[in-house]
Amino acid sequence: MLNVKCMNETLELKKTVNLPQTNFSQKANLGQSEPARLKKWTDAKLYERIREARKGAEKFILHDGPPYANSDIHLGTALNKILKDFVVKSRTMMGFDSPFVPGYDCHGLPIETYVEKKLAEKGKNKTDLPVSTFRRLCREHASNAMDGQTRDFSRLGVFGEWENPYLTMSNEYEAETARLFGKFLERGYVYKGLRPVYWCIHDQTALAEAEVEYKMHTSPSIYVKFPLKDDAAKIDENLADKRVSLVIWTTTPWTIPANLGITVHPDFEYAAVEHEDEVLIIASELLAFVAVKCGIGGVNKEGERQLPRVLAKFKGSRLDGLKAKHPWIDRDSLVMTGEHVTLGGEADAETELDVADARNRSETGKAGTGLVHTAPGHGHDDFLIGKEHGLEIYCPVNNAGEFTSDVEHFAGENIFQANPRIVDLLRERGAMLFDEKYEHRYPHCWRCKNPVIFRATPQWFISMDKEAQTEEKISLRANALEEVAETKWHPSWGETRMANMLKGRPDWCVSRQRAWGVPIPVFYCTDCDEPVASPEIVNRIADIFQKETADAWYNREARDLLPDNFKCEKCGSANFTKETDILDVWFDSGSSCVAVLETRDNLQFPADVYFEGGDQFRGWFNSSLMCGLAAHDRAPYKQVVTYGWVVDGEGKQMHKSGGNAISPNEVVQKSGAEIIRLWASAMDITEDVRCSDEILQRVTDAYRKFRNTLRYALGNLEGFSPETDKVSFAEMLEIDRWALASLDEAIGKVVNGYETYNFQAVYQTVYNLVTVTLSARYFDIIKDRLYIFAPKSVERCSAQTALYEIADKLSRLLAPILAFTADEAWENLPQQKVESVHLAEFPRVSGADNSQLLADWERIFAIRDEVLKRLEEARSEKKIGSSLEAKVILTTAKETTRFLIPYYEDLRYIFIVSQVEVHEGDALAVEIQKADGAKCERCWNYSLQVGASEKYPTVCERCFEALKEIDQTAVA
Ligand SMILES: [Zn+2]
Ligand SMILES: [Zn+2]
Ligand SMILES: [Zn+2]
């Protein structure tokens, strides 16, 4: 009978304990809950409602650099969009109107190549189709790839106009791209010049790298002397009055007539060596190899080969600017320095550029002389360095592969047939050191299978240094450098990097011999070849593009594009042909600052910020800057933020084939988009951004901590009404005020982190708040008060007031990063008025000076740490079970004892023990004893008063008071 009564009483008592309750579950189930929340957002038109809510507010525009619409998203593109989403969401919560219009880069070679491959699978060829049909197939492919990316990006919780992204292939955009070309024309920046491209002399056409095949080919390999024209004493005193020659190596003797220079590496060591009655210059590291091959140095009496005597050694930079003589043509060959010079070693021949330069290198590993024969009209590197040094892009070879009349001895001759005759001539002139047959991989035409050549052809350029035909007369380069200094760069080294890149960049070659892009809207007079490149005509064409897409260029005849009765200014002819080249895709994406920012009502030029990976210094930051300058004389951005590459856990590049790539879609399915989002905030993005399963596991653990913190706060707010139950700050218990002061401090750091794009600071601040301040300290301590005190007691309401502030403010601070979870927490806050956290604003710092409060509590927690340590020892010594079985005897120095006086009553709760005694002594000492009295059945604290009440004989005096209040409430 007695047992039964006790049991009943226990049950009753348990009901009087305020246990937490919330719908915010412990298990997140993000894989399922996220799609449901996305649907909810879509159904509620949340993005549109945010726009509505911020209408009229100051704008903050992050302009999206368009990813290429060719493949699925990968971790790099996912990170890119998530970081941008952090910016957009956080600026929105700062009160800005921050719309986000995502974009896609839709034109270009990878899509063409893909479509060509698909055609080949069906046994078809690109050239069998009309250009317009081919372009339609490209458009379809880009459109499909784009839809897939849109689905995946929005699944990540990225807000934006996903229904209406900007596409570089849309008719409006193509029209704007053409108009922008007109702007460049208007300023007089555009010119037509020569540039080397692959050329098939059989088909007489330029080829793109995708149109050449690599096959073995036998070429003459020759080592040729170029006599130094300058006084060799300029290199080294030892060489004064000597006959000095520079030794080059090449496998294309036919390019020797076009030689205008010799390039050495500025940092390699070169040697001047004796050979018969002259001196030869060769890279030191290749000296032995070349000496053996060419028989330099001779043979000793025993018949052994001797290395030649070295007269001087010096860095390549010593040769910079000297002049050599062409072996037979009366012309100088300028010595230049270039980083592209190698000491042999074979190019991988993976790309056009590698192969183009392979003619100056060797297949076998070691070859060449470290001095590169440079013919700017016949090689890519040659072209670049030639341009840099103001050399002519000289190409004395016609469409059919014959030398022009310019070339003495060989005019009209086929270049390949001329090869042996050039070797003979070099030998005759005493310029030939050595020649042999040489087998190597060489590019061939994919159609006719003949070897191709590299040959300068006319291309469209945008000049970096021409003065604009405007009042300011400023060049693009000078204007760009001014604007770079005006822009704010994050990290700040971005400014130097961008400035250096601009200082070194050559003129921008904007023409491509491709089909999938915006055609260069220029005509040629059929009769006199005069180009028609005027802004007026370009704008007219752009208007047509706007109605019909740029396909109009291919669907219409020249006369249907030009104004009626249009005549050639030069010869009066009415016959014109259309330019067949398209614009560089970087011109396309660069145009977005005008084509998007100025055509969308809710955006504006310039953007507040561009936010892209570090590879965009050469890419989009650059092309967009050029386009911004052409349109408005200013940079299209006020700030530029860059971040590092995504790499694996060891810092290695991620590769699908390498097995170390992490697919964002797989992580989303398995763990949730929140985990990728939280990862993006947890990493230092100013360096390479690492990711691995292990790292994601750590992030998942952190996620759980964040979630549990929100859950604790929400769970203990059951029945709390912020309107009626809130306790004013002044009336709150001191530790509750301390918790809010800590939160206040965190708010300042978090908002500053968002403002400075330092999301890692946001993460770390919240992580510390959650794990140290809240979980390890505050929540532990207030648990007793929340559970045991009467529901509406001031003690409990004080703690709940703090918890309400914590849940409310933490949800808002986390919303840009944990977009799903913060919104879920927000929904579970009592009496929520705004339906989504994403419509709310960031909390503001109170501005109150809480430094004394925070310092006092740091001091208390330092003592607490000592007490907890001793309690842990007592537990392991089996002196006590739970800490509530303990009584703490604290001895402290006089000053500390005084400091603790106001906290004396609270110390048992702070230490989570039943009793605390404080004694004055020499230094801090902690003694643990068994608590006095009996265990209260309700709160499990020990008290001498248990049994004092007749009504509740098993509870302590504190519980008795609480129960009295609960009884009264029940009666009322
Ligand atoms: Zn061919
Ligand atoms: Zn004409
Ligand atoms: Zn009790």
Helix or strand holding residue 893 (H, E): none
How many whole angstroms from 125 Cα to the centroid of ligand 1? 15
Q: How high is the pLDDT of residue 972?
A: 56
Determine contact, residues 335/246, Cβ cutoff 8 Å.
yes
Q: Which of 756, 748, 597, 769 minimizes the C-alpha distance to 91?
A: 756
pLDDT band, very low/low/confident/very high, at 25 (cuts 50, 70, 90): very high
How many whole angstroms from 400 Cα to the centroid of ligand 2? 25
DSSP string, 555-588: HS-HHHHSPTT---TTT----EEE---EE-HHHH
Indicate which ligand has the atom closest to the C-alpha of 938: 3
Task: Say which residue, 773 or 468, is predicted with more confidence.
Answer: 773
Phi, psi of 797 (to 5 degrees): -65, -30
Look up tokens 């109009």; give the residue.
552
Helix or strand holding residue 457 (H, E): strand 453-462
How many whole angstroms from 523 Cα to the centroid of ligand 2? 11
344/293 Cα distance (integer angstroms): 14
How many whole angstroms from 392 Cα to the centroid of ligand 2? 27
Q: How high is the pLDDT of residue 12?
A: 77
Judged by DSSP in three states, 205 sits in strand
475-518 residue pLDDT tens: 999 999 999 999 999 999 999 999 998 987 778 889 888 889 99
Of the listed ranges 215-229, 288-302, 891-905, the least confidently predicted one is: 288-302
DSSP string, 586-633: HHHHHTHHHHTTTTSTT--SSEEEEEEEGGGGTTHHHHHHHHHHHHHS
Indicate which ligand has the atom closest to the C-alpha of 960: 3
How many whole angstroms from 221 Cα to the centroid of ligand 2? 46
Look up tokens 């010799």; give the residue.
262
Task: Say which residue, 306 or 94, is predicted with more confidence.
Answer: 94
Q: Which of 6, 17, 23 minimizes the C-alpha distance to 832?
A: 23
Count CB atoms within 10 A of the CB of residue 750: 29
600-612 residue pLDDT tens: 999 999 999 999 9
Q: What is the Cα 870 distance to its own chain's centre?
A: 50
Q: How high is the pLDDT of residue 373?
A: 96
Q: How high is the pLDDT of residue 966?
A: 86
Helical segments of 415-475, H only: 415-428
Determine contact, residues 270/370, Cβ cutoff 8 Å.
yes
890/191 Cα distance (integer angstroms): 86
Q: Which amino acid is at 816?
A: P
What are 855's two structure tokens?
């310092």
Q: How high is the pLDDT of residue 302?
A: 79
925/913 Cα distance (integer angstroms): 16
Indicate which ligand has the atom closest to the C-alpha of 203: 1
Of the listed ranges 40-49, 303-312, 677-686, 879-888, the least confidently predicted one is: 303-312
Q: Is the peptide bond before 67 cis (omega within 30 degrees of 0)?
A: no
Give the neighbor-by-neighbor strand order of the sheet with 508-509.
Answer: 205-207, 190-200, 453-462, 508-509
Q: How high is the pLDDT of residue 358?
A: 37
Determine contact, residues 359/342, Cβ cutoff 8 Å.
no
Q: How high is the pLDDT of residue 6?
A: 46
Q: Which long-range contacts (CB under 8 A, 24 or more apart) does 123-128 make?
A: 126/515
364/568 Cα distance (integer angstroms): 55
Determine contact, residues 539/179, Cβ cutoff 8 Å.
yes
What are 843's two structure tokens?
């909390």
Q: How high is the pLDDT of residue 350?
A: 30
How many whole angstroms from 539 Cα to the centroid of ligand 2? 21
Indicate which ligand has the atom closest to the C-alpha of 449: 1
Q: How high is the pLDDT of residue 297?
A: 80
Judged by DSSP in three states, 169 sits in coil
Residue 7 has pLDDT above 50, yes or no: no
How many whole angstroms from 960 Cα to the centroid of ligand 3? 7
Helical segments of 310-365, H only: 352-358
pLDDT band, very low/low/confident/very high, at 9 (cuts 50, 70, 90): low
How many whole angstroms from 531 Cα to the centroid of ligand 2? 8
Q: How high is the pLDDT of residue 657?
A: 76
Indicate which ligand has the atom closest to the C-alpha of 526: 2
Residue 348 has pLDDT above 50, yes or no: no
89/636 Cα distance (integer angstroms): 22
* Listed residues: CB within 5 A of ion ligand 2: 525, 527-528, 530, 568, 570-571, 573
66-92 residue pLDDT tens: 999 888 899 999 999 999 999 999 999
Indicate which ligand has the atom closest to the C-alpha of 13: 3
The contacts of residue 524 (CB under 8 Å, 6+ apart) are 530, 531, 532, 576, 577, 579
Q: How high is the pLDDT of residue 208?
A: 65
Sequence length of the chain is: 972
% of the chain at pLDDT higher than 90:
80
Residue 298 has pLDDT above 80, yes or no: no
Q: How high is the pLDDT of residue 969?
A: 76
Q: How high is the pLDDT of residue 971?
A: 62
Phi, psi of 565 (to 5 degrees): 60, 25
The neighbouring-strand residues paired with 750 are: none
270-281 residue pLDDT tens: 999 999 899 999
Strand extents, DSSP E, 155-304? 166-167, 190-200, 205-207, 212-227, 244-250, 261-264, 269-275, 278-283
231/950 Cα distance (integer angstroms): 117
Of the listed ranges 305-309, 338-342, 748-752, 950-954, the least confidently predicted one is: 305-309
Residue 759 has pLDDT above 60, yes or no: yes
Average pLDDT over residues 944-964: 91
Q: Model-level pTM? A: 0.82
Residue 876 has pLDDT above 80, yes or no: yes
332/260 Cα distance (integer angstroms): 7
Encode 768-825 in three state secondary structure: HHHHHHHHHHHHHHHHHHHHHCCCCCHHHHHHHHHHHHHHHHHHHHHCCCCHHHHHHH
Average pLDDT over residues 39-66: 97
Residue 58 has pLDDT above 60, yes or no: yes
Helix or strand holding residue 639 (H, E): strand 637-643
Average pLDDT over residues 243-256: 95
The contacts of residue 901 (CB under 8 Å, 6+ apart) are none
Average pLDDT over residues 821-834: 92
For strand 323-325 and strand 332-337, is the pairing parallel, antiparallel, or unpaired? antiparallel
Determine contact, residues 314/235, Cβ cutoff 8 Å.
yes
pLDDT band, very low/low/confident/very high, at 712 (cuts 50, 70, 90): very high
Indicate which ligand has the atom closest to the C-alpha of 963: 3
DSSP 8-state class, residue 428: H
Q: Which of 351, 375, 8, 333 minimizes the C-alpha distance to 208?
A: 351
Q: Which amino acid is at 684?
A: D
Q: Which amino acid is at 314?
A: F
Indicate which ligand has the atom closest to the C-alpha of 574: 2
Determine contact, residues 462/190, Cβ cutoff 8 Å.
yes
Indicate which ligand has the atom closest to the C-alpha of 205: 1
Q: Give the gyration radius of the chain's Cα atoms.
A: 39
Residue 305 has pLDDT above 90, yes or no: no
Judged by DSSP in three states, 704 sits in helix
Residue 293 has pLDDT above 90, yes or no: no
Phi, psi of 264 (to 5 degrees): -120, 160
652-675 residue pLDDT tens: 888 877 788 899 999 999 999 999
Residue 349 has pLDDT above 60, yes or no: no
Average pLDDT over residues 161-188: 97
How many whole angstroms from 456 Cα to the centroid of ligand 1? 17
Determine contact, residues 369/297, Cβ cutoff 8 Å.
no
The contacts of residue 294 (CB under 8 Å, 6+ apart) are 223, 247, 433, 434
Exposure of 324 by Cβ count < 10 A (0-12 exposed, 13-18 middle, 19+ buried)? buried
Helix or strand holding residue 335 (H, E): strand 332-337
507-549 residue pLDDT tens: 888 988 888 999 999 999 999 989 999 999 999 999 999 999 9
What are 221's two structure tokens?
């390999």
205/213 Cα distance (integer angstroms): 15
Q: How high is the pLDDT of residue 831?
A: 84
How many whole angstroms from 957 Cα to the centroid of ligand 3? 7
DSSP 8-state class, residue 516: S
DSSP string, 912-968: TSSEEEEEE-SS-EEEEEEPSSEE-TTT--EETTTT--SSSTTS-HHHHHHHHHHHH
Q: What is the mean pLDDT of the chain?
A: 92
Residue 366 has pLDDT above 70, yes or no: no
Phi, psi of 266 (to 5 degrees): -60, -30
pLDDT band, very low/low/confident/very high, at 446 (cuts 50, 70, 90): confident
% of the chain at pLDDT higher than 70:
96
126-168 residue pLDDT tens: 888 999 999 999 999 999 999 999 999 999 999 999 999 999 9
766/751 Cα distance (integer angstroms): 11
Count CB atoms within 10 A of the CB of residue 329: 16
Please give the C-alpha separations between residue 319 and each of 267, 314, 514, 829, in angstroms, as whole numbers: 11, 9, 41, 75
Residue 211 has pLDDT above 90, yes or no: no
315-338 residue pLDDT tens: 999 999 999 999 999 999 999 999
How many whole angstroms from 554 Cα to the centroid of ligand 1? 24
How many whole angstroms from 899 Cα to the centroid of ligand 3? 28
Determine contact, residues 538/179, Cβ cutoff 8 Å.
yes
Q: How high is the pLDDT of residue 79?
A: 97
Q: How high is the pLDDT of residue 10?
A: 53
Helix or strand holding residue 436 (H, E): strand 432-445
Count CB atoms within 10 A of the CB of residue 456: 26
